[in-house]
Structure 1
Amino acid sequence: SQDGVEGQDYKVRLEDARCPGLDVANGDEEDKASNSPLPLTPEEPDMMYTLGDTVPLPLCILLGVQHFLMSFLSTPPLPLFLSGPLCMAGDEVGISELIGVNIVSAGIATLMQTTLGVRLPIVQGNSVAFLAPTLAILSLPRWQCPPVVTVNDTDAGLATFLNITTGNGSSLFVLTGSAEHKTIWQSRLAEVNGAILVAALLQVGLGFSGVLGAMLRYMGPLCIAPTIALIGLSLFEAAAQMAAGLWWIAILTVILVVVFSQCLDRVSVPIPCFSRRGHGVQRTTFRLKLFALFPVLLAVVISWLLCLVLTLTDVLPRDPEEWGHAARTDTNQRVLQQAPWVRIPYPGQWGVPTVTTAAVLGMMAGVLASILESVGDYYACAQVSAAPPPPHHAVNRGIGTEGLCCMIAAGLGAGSGSTSYSQNIAALGITKVASRGVILVCGMLLVGLGCVGKVGALFVTISKPIIGGLFIALFGMITAVGLSHLHHVDLLKQRNMCVLGLSLFLGLSVPNWVAKNKDAINTGSPVADQIFEVLLSTAMVVGGLVGFVLDNVLPGTDEERGIFRGRSTTTAANGEKITVSTGVYRLPFLDYFGVFSRLPCLGRLPFLPGAKIQSA
């Protein structure tokens, strides 16, 4: 075999990119081979640069900047969204610092995952899967935000205060942005970070122990689909509240995202450039699918420019109490002057994370949902990159590394975990470049610019209706991605309709009832009350658990459940096994230092590939 190839023959595992994990034998092999999304031979991949190729430095930097821009705009919306439940309203500098921490942690996770984890060109970033349990935790009575009072000061203008009720019933007014205000939101952030820090240990254990593969055997599409779909469905109210600041701007943002990503995705825009020919310089043009690569960026810029024009012409009201004021672009301009130029995040910068049982158990639901999402992205990225399906040791190592990245993010105070970004996987197919070097450049840019305080401050100035419009598009797409897992499920069977319907209905109705009847849960133990309240307030916990139990208890064949056709073992049409290289998933430094030849027992670890078989 060639150098870098493990040397063994195996049948290409046509793992469904959305539902990997099960081994199933038999079936119409020729039909499955013809429908395979993976190349049946490793020759002539449909990529200009594959995983291990070295891209010329100028092109590598250019493509790295492109991936950076795509992920860069996807990271700030979550901390902006959480700033409300965290009681950060009015502390724009604190919000900008939280955005910077999220960007830095995304860069660190990208570098770790590309080099030590699954070793696929996957960009990492904060995960929406952690948002629902975070909101459930912050909805507990002890973490609910005090009311905000606006006072018109003749010297300082409008000033906002938090009206805190003390133990004796008196009112204490705390100026937003003050040291006392920072203590309030930092205590809430410490609770969230502590929950993520401990819950991520579950992800580390599932990945590095190899238990993940055994778990996925019992998690079919009817369990995965409602779990992921309910991430988006459960957040519709919160997204609508942000969009309600000015619905027209939010709707415009949604329309622009849809038009750019779905209608103009194949339009190539000519970009002028210069190239050296012989001893001279010649003006040329290259065509870039601008709308397909940057639909969110273009939508935000256009919507923001419109808000700027409406602000300068005073079409939008100046009174904070009037509808439409939230779309003004001058409400948070002071943060650009107040934010520092350089701010390097460090562990414990906002206090020591606190740990409670209820918060940890609720956050574990986010961890499990993030695992399911990431495993699907691994197989999708391998398919797009013209690489062989990742072997079990690579998937285990990727999930374990992602758990470590979640712990690092929580330690830095990000308030969110880490997961893979699907939009960057799509960019690999558009650019036909799947080199790790490009993603490493993206990771370094994320770390570097995340330490620039003014960058995070710039995102704070984006109007809330624009963010609300982005969340409507994002949460809607997450819901659709979850439901897309059902494409192999026989939905004409009443069994499957029963499982899906009950999972979605109970996943929405139970958390809604708990939110309106918080005093109904009374077990006699305050700790147990909090545990049940957090778990039952998290839609994907309720829906995912119902789907898991019903799908494994109710009688039904694997084919009806969507397992048989979605997860299969495939050979070529002539019936021969296909030899492909899985050396791209190995850890080169272990082979370089001959670790496996000295300690062959390490090859038995579920996250290591084992000794490489040398060519004859």
Structure 2
Amino acid sequence: MAHEESQASSATGDDIEYGIDDKPPAGESLLLGVQHYLTMVGANIAVPLLLADAMGMPDDVTVRFIGTFFVVSGIATLAQTTLGNRYPIVQGAPFSMLAPAIAIVGVVSATGGAAWQAKLLALQGAIITAALAEVVIGYLGIVGRLRRYLSPVVIAPTIALIGLSLFGVTQIADATNWWLLGLTVLLIVGFSQYLNASHRAFRLFPVLLGMVTAWLIAATLSVAGVYTAETSGYVDLAQVADAPAVLAIYPLQWGMPEFQLSLAIGMFAGVLASIVESFGDYHAVARIAGHGAPSEKRINHGIGMEGLMNVFSGIMGTGGSTSYSENIGAIGLTGVASRYVIQIGAVAMIVVGYVGYFGQLVATIPDPIVGGLFVAMFGQIVAVGVSNLEYVDLSSSRNTFVVGFALFAGLAIPAYMGGFESAAAFREGMASVSVFEPIVGVSVLGPVLGSRLVADTLFVIGGTGMAVGGIVALVLDNTIAGTPEERGLVAWERITEDESDFRTAWERWRDTGEASEPAD
């Protein structure tokens, strides 16, 4: 096989400026790669900041902690795009693993581990152990085998909920500087939708141009004294000057991880939610880049590589790694789906992680600007999910019921879970369940539902919209009677890439070696 995914590449849509296998000029690729990473900067800074605050980490250590997240993000992205599923998806800190991470920090604090190092080392051990299970799940093909039960009726609400569940992020929900957020939205939408035909730069760099313009305005207002340190939108340039020039980031930099099975079980719930989200991301990026739906082989290698990179993130001392939906929205806005561009951006992020000045400069981007970016992009992901319904019979009441029920459940159940202060509070509530107690005279479900394994798993998965919606749609779609044509399986099969269209790193290396051997 001398070509690389040629069948899939031929499906690239007309609105894609650069397809997955395209390589733009180096300078242009650098700007495009940085633009992709700017779309996820809010989450990749928010997660370490939340964890650092929960652990009571000193400010000087927090700077290195954030830098480590960027380094891990860059290396994980290079690994996924080179050795994993080879989709142009940025890897970064997962919110799906944040809830169990904070719960683990709370458990260690309650058992006398007051020092931030003790909390972080326990967290590292839990991530490494849970991630090893993810490696097994991926490379044994467990997730890929589920693909045969996944019709567009299941995939559509799962992907849509990725975008819908993000509308409540703090950069949007807690925004107070609405004019700066609105300005960012107007700039990005203006460049990408209204001015895209007037100049190629507006088509390729709408996010970069919008964010830089808004940041320069916010920085100018901050220097002029219009914005103060208490103002949302304030840019603290002094932080950049005070940042260390080079950060010492290396494996086991915080010490040897501590391994506790009970903590790892809680973290595994976050890993499961991450797997469901990544499964939807793979379909979303394939759809938006004009490729066929991912094959079982590609899915397995993607999940397996995410597991390996989660092990790596635990060794480095961060909060995990997973595919980023924000990056997929950027592809929809810019039409740039190049794997090469993502890899160039990944290298830039590794440099940013080690150079304190650059990392701190990125950290000065105000929340209202990040919120404006999210508003402009998240709708793209929802639309990608809904577009999968073109393959199903929408005149079928069973299809509309499954999709509508899954969407509602995917929004309602996480909202219910959000009413609990923590995983521990939910665990206490589950322990008090006594459905059969009036009949049998003893609590039957309480001890089971209130156990750490069951309660923490339900809390994390129940708080993840795409996991809830995906599971609900999966069960309903495979139990309610419906023909393959009605469910979109026949049309879906026609656009799914063949197993041979994806070659693993080993297969590509082997084929290269065979091609270099002299003929007999």
Question: Is contact 1:203–1:371 with CA below 8 Å preserved after alignment?
Answer: no
Q: CA deviation at 1:356?
A: 3.3
TM-score w.r.t. length of structure 2:
0.77
Secondary structure at the counterpart of residue 521 of structure 1: helix
Matches within 5 A, 1:178-577: 183-184=115-116, 196-239=127-170, 243-268=174-199, 289-316=200-227, 320=230, 325-330=231-236, 333-350=237-254, 352=257, 355-377=263-285, 383=291, 393=297, 396-419=300-323, 421-422=327-328, 440-516=343-419, 518=426, 520-522=429-431, 523-524=446-447, 525-527=450-452, 528-568=454-494
Are the structure 2 counterparts of residues 582 and 327 from structure 1 closer, same or farther at C-alpha, using a change threshold of 3 Å?
closer
Question: Is contact 2:73–2:321 with CA below 8 Å preserved after alignment?
Answer: no
Q: CA deviation at 1:560?
A: 2.0
CA distance in 2, matches of 1:237, 1:424: 19
User: Is 1:125 equivalent to 2:31 in the alignment?
Assistant: no
Tell me which of 93, 97, 108 is aligned to 1:134.
97
Q: CA deviation at 1:217?
A: 0.7
TM-score w.r.t. length of structure 1:
0.66
Deviations, residues 153-207 of structure 1 (Å, cap 9, x unaligned): xxxxxxxxxxx9999xxxxxxxxxxxx8xx55x6666676555544444543344
Tell me which of 575, 584, 589 is aligned to 2:509.
589
Deviations, residues 508-538 of structure 1 (Å, cap 9, x unaligned): 2222223325453222345143333333333
Question: Is contact 1:13–1:568 with CA below 8 Å preserved after alignment?
Answer: no
Q: Partner letter of residue 327 of structure 1?
A: G
What are the ranges of 5 or more consecutive residues in structure 1 without an aligned counterpart?
Answer: 18-35, 40-45, 145-163, 168-179, 269-288, 572-577, 595-610
Alignment root-mean-square deviation, CA: 4.4
Are the structure 2 counterparts of residues 77 and 614 from structure 1 closer, same or farther at C-alpha, using a change threshold of 3 Å?
farther
Deviations, residues 472-499 of structure 1 (Å, cap 9, x unaligned): 3343333333333323232332212211
What is the percentage of aligned positions where both structures have the same residue?
Answer: 32
Return the index of the structure with the highest Cα Rg. Answer: 1
Q: CA deviation at 1:229?
A: 2.6
User: Is 1:69 equivalent to 2:59 in the alignment?
Assistant: no
Q: CA deviation at 1:412?
A: 2.1
Deviations, residues 271-302 of structure 1 (Å, cap 9, x unaligned): xxxxxxxxxxxxxxxxxx21222222222222
Are the structure 2 counterparts of residues 261 and 570 from structure 1 closer, same or farther at C-alpha, using a change threshold of 3 Å?
closer
CA distance in 1, matches of 2:246, 2:266: 37
Higher normalized strand content (fraction of residues) = 1
Q: What is residue 148 of structure 1 aligned with on the other side?
A: none
Question: Is contact 2:254–2:317 with CA below 8 Å preserved after alignment?
Answer: yes
CA distance in 2, matches of 1:536, 1:50: 34
Are the structure 2 counterparts of residues 95 and 137 from structure 1 closer, same or farther at C-alpha, using a change threshold of 3 Å?
same
Are the structure 2 counterparts of residues 389 and 239 from structure 1 closer, same or farther at C-alpha, using a change threshold of 3 Å?
closer
Secondary structure at the counterpart of residue 326 of structure 1: coil
Q: Partner letter of residue 520 of structure 1?
A: G
What are the ranges of 5 or more consecutive residues in structure 2 without an aligned counterpart?
Answer: 421-425, 432-445
Are the structure 2 counterparts of residues 459 and 255 from structure 1 closer, same or farther at C-alpha, using a change threshold of 3 Å?
same
Question: Is contact 1:193–1:410 with CA below 8 Å preserved after alignment?
Answer: yes
Deviations, residues 390-409 of structure 1 (Å, cap 9, x unaligned): 87655543443343233323
Are the structure 2 counterparts of residues 592 and 227 from structure 1 closer, same or farther at C-alpha, using a change threshold of 3 Å?
closer
Secondary structure at the counterpart of residue 323 of structure 2: strand
Q: Partner letter of residue 405 of structure 1?
A: M
